Structure 1
């Protein structure tokens, strides 16, 4: 393809990578904030849960903590991805086409796939944790809400 035909693809590919990083960071921040909110609720002496509420609340905290861990892992994975992609670009600019370049490309493909998988798990676990937190809060404060 000519450079002119490749320009839109490269621009949108770069933008899509930026938005992936933003989304990972957004869900990481929200997961940590929700975990902090739940921990602050536990310190409140008025916040007393009954049997099934304790279970749901525990699953919510666990989901959010795991989502936070996955978010951190995702960020570290992206950093490794950027580092290896930079190595590939450097080798290509020096016309160093060898086995190491092919190996790096394979590694970057694996890392990219892992990033998408980690991000999917992060989003699902955050969603579950947030939903369960809202459920517990609605039930706990139902007398004030309804």
Structure 2
């Protein structure tokens, strides 16, 4: 029974890892697309009202931060995967004192989740500010 529980845990852990990657990549793609859209709107001077311009500028900053957090998150995950591979290799070679590496891996995992939530929050703020900029610009018409 314990073996079945373990295989279920490993399976769900893999599913979680895959969905985490998918969501991070989706938010990165959306943030990059919105960043390009609002940059074009500002460069083409289509957001001329003062409030619309301000919200669009805030959107650019927040979306840029979202992209930065996404990249940082990806790099941090790679570091965590590399460390996990190292732990696995050392364990196969008979090494037993691995707790410090496991603690570091756990720390990297927690930090990755923190970066993910910052990525998501800054994307939400950027998308909301950008939407407000467009609404403010077209509302008087």
Q: Give the structure 2 partner of residue 37 of structure 1.
A: 37
TM-score normalised by length of structure 1: 0.89
Deviations 1:98-141 (CA, angstroms, capped at 9, x unpaired)? 2xx21110111110010000000110110010011111111212
Q: Per-residue deviation at 1:41?
A: 0.8
Aligned-partner Cα distance in 2 for 1:63–1:18: 26
1:82 matches 2:81: yes
Q: Give the structure 1 partner of residue 112 of structure 2.
A: 115
Number of equivalent positions: 141
Q: Per-residue deviation at 1:94?
A: 2.0
Do 2:47 and 2:53's aligned partners in 1 also have CA atoms closer than 8 Å?
Answer: no
Aligned-partner Cα distance in 1 for 2:5–2:48: 62
Aligned-partner Cα distance in 1 for 2:115–2:122: 10
Aligned counterpart for 1:129 among listed residues 118, 126, 130: 126
Q: Per-residue deviation at 1:4?
A: 2.1
Aligned-partner Cα distance in 1 for 2:137–2:103: 51
Aligned-partner Cα distance in 1 for 2:21–2:65: 19
Deviations 1:34-82 (CA, angstroms, capped at 9, x unpaired)? 11111111221443132x3222221111100011100000000011011
